Structure 1
Amino acid sequence: MAENEKLRLDRLLNHMGLGTRKEIKKLIKAKQVMVNGELAMDPGLHIFPQRDHIEVQGEVIEYREYIYLMLNKPQDVLSATEDASDKVVIDLLDPTYHSFNPFPVGRLDKDTEGLLLLTNNGKLAHQLLSPKKHVPKTYYALVQGLVTEEDVAAFARGVELDDGYRTLPGQLKIIRSAPQSEIELTIYEGKYHQVKRMFEAVGKRVIYLKRLSMGPLVLDNNLKPGEYRELTDEEIALLQEAKTRHSVQ
């Protein structure tokens, strides 16, 4: 939001999760809201969010237009904002974030864990998800089957999926080659069930999948499945840089 843009006071406080419009009107009527050191008497007062000093019940309110959350998505939770029957990632968030209307940037399968970015910055999300950007995504997987150097070479060329689509080249790293192998895989697109389908194309089956990174954003190892935190200023800056870059793939 530009510094000279105005917002209604009740809309701003609602956006910041301080209550419904009706509840905010009651706060103002009860003389609990100050703007620039003076009591606010009008819910429709137009203010400059980037400049004006706002206090509610003695607490300073720092206006934010966007939020950025890093979630370690657990299994059995949908990468969606709502669903009629299943739990969704928004259900994991504290209600104070709901007023920002965050949404997941991209999706992880229901049975996949790991890094998921949630934000209300639609422009950033669009740029990170654009097929033209080829934003890298790295996954850890347990694979049923012996993963070999032949598979590494095949993934580096791109493999043909079951629908005839040939993937972009991916970087497959073997952590442990065994009847149940451990790998890391970096891909540059986000086709439906892509990692699973890539291994199916070489005769193997993914039995556990976790996303470790997306572009410059790396999953915080301190976050247990279902836990989340706000991005740091440095992480947000890295994402803003990433959205303007094209891969050299």
Structure 2
Amino acid sequence: MRLDKFLVDCGVGSRTEVKQVLKQKKIQVNGKVETSAKVHIDPDTDQVTYLGEKLLHEEFVYYLLNKPKGVISATEDDHHQTVLDLLDDTARHKEVFPVGRLDIDTHGLLLLTNNGKLAHAMLSPKKHVDKLYRAQVAGIMTQEDVDRFKEGIVLKDFTTLPAELEILEVDQEANSCLVQIRIAEGKFHQVKRMVAACGKEVTDLERISMGPLNLNPSLELGEWRRLTVEEIGLLTDFRVNL
């Protein structure tokens, strides 16, 4: 692997920035200063340091964000804060992007990565990756609604795949309920539209899982964490088996 690509992968900077860092003699390979961007190294055996700090090679990075309301699932926007604004400099250097989208008023689990193949597999309509949502609903969902979800709901522009609706809590006095909804697709405003088709309204929507990933309750709104090695393994195996 070329040294400049290695340094970009490690988040040192862009290709242009990395060339400047090399010229400034801030990079050492196996204890010796290296100034050439074209030199080849072995990421597994060669030791590369930046200002004395050892660099670990990462081609792909994975972030799990608890997206808050009011933030859009995009990498840039002229009017709203984006999910990328909530992450660290490494995420921006690595050019991560959200895997799918959550509406601006929906909160919860959002995966961001620079692994395009994995993102494509997770989002492909043919793959039917499960997504689990918890929704506060104005109105009370019934067993009839559960059955309708199971059959697939006819909307104006398409009929949904069979979905699972679980009624968690019912508040008769407030005429509201808390439900969990599992869908195997993720079209525009789908959960809200399915609930609306049953004559009720979603007033709060949170995504709590996607594929093998789950939102940890300890992760506060707006907080993020890098996926663990175990989770990356699960995600990789999941993609392969899709």
**Deviation for aligned residue 1:52:** 1.9
- Which of 143, 159, 182 is 1:149 aligned to? 143
Could you say which residue in structure 2 is the equivalent of 1:202? Answer: 198
Q: Is the 8 A contact 2:162 2:183 kept in 1?
A: yes
Match of 2:240 in 1: 244
Q: Does 1:171 align with 2:164?
A: yes
Task: Quote the offset at 1:83 in angstroms.
Answer: 1.3
The secondary structure found in structure 2 opposite 1:10 is: helix
- In 1, the alpha carbon distance for the partners of 2:194 and 2:17 equals 52
TM-score, normalization by structure 2: 0.93
Aligned length: 239
**Superposition map of 1:117-196 within 5 A:** 117-163=111-157, 165-178=158-171, 179-196=175-192
Helix, strand or coil: the match of 2:240? coil
Runs of 5+ unmatched residues, structure 1: 1-5
Indicate the residue corresponding to 1:232 in structure 2: 228
Q: Give how far 1:131 is off.
A: 1.4
Letter matched to residue 83 of structure 1: D
**Runs of 4+ more than 6 Å apart:** none
Superposed, 1:40-189 pairs within 5 Å as 40-163=34-157, 165-178=158-171, 179-189=175-185
The Cα of 1:122 is off from its aligned counterpart by: 0.4
Q: Distance in 1 between matches of 2:132 and 2:15?
A: 43
Q: CA offsets per residue over residues 170-206 of structure 1, 9 Å max, x none?
A: 1111011231110001000111100000001110100
- TM-score, structure 1 normalization: 0.91
Q: Is the 8 A contact 1:162 1:201 kept in 2?
A: no
Query: How many Å separate the matches in 2 of 1:21 and 1:67?
Result: 18
- Match of 2:161, SS? coil
Return the offset for 1:32.
Answer: 2.6
In structure 2, what is the Cα distance between the partners aligned to 1:243 and 1:96? 24
Query: In the TM superposition, what is the alpha-carbon distance from 1:41 to its structure 2 partner?
Result: 2.8
Tell me if structure 1 keeps the 8 A contact 2:70–2:105: yes
* Native 8 Å contact 1:196 1:206 kept in 2: yes
Decide whether aligned partners of structure 1 residues 23 and 107 sit closer, same or farther in structure 2, where only a CA change above 3 A counts.
closer
Q: Which residue of 2 aligns with 1:16?
A: 10
The residue aligned with 2:208 is 212
Whether the 8 Å contact between 2:14 and 2:93 is mirrored in structure 1 is no
Q: CA RMSD in A?
A: 1.5
Query: For residue 137 of structure 1, what is the amino acid of its counterpart?
Result: K
Q: CA deviation at 1:244?
A: 2.7
| Counterpart amino acid of residue 151 in structure 2 | R
1:3 corresponds to: none
Q: Which letter does structure 2 place at the counterpart of 1:223? A: L
Tell whether the 8 Å contact from 1:162 to 1:197 is kept in structure 2 after alignment.
Answer: no
Residue aligned with 1:46, SS: coil
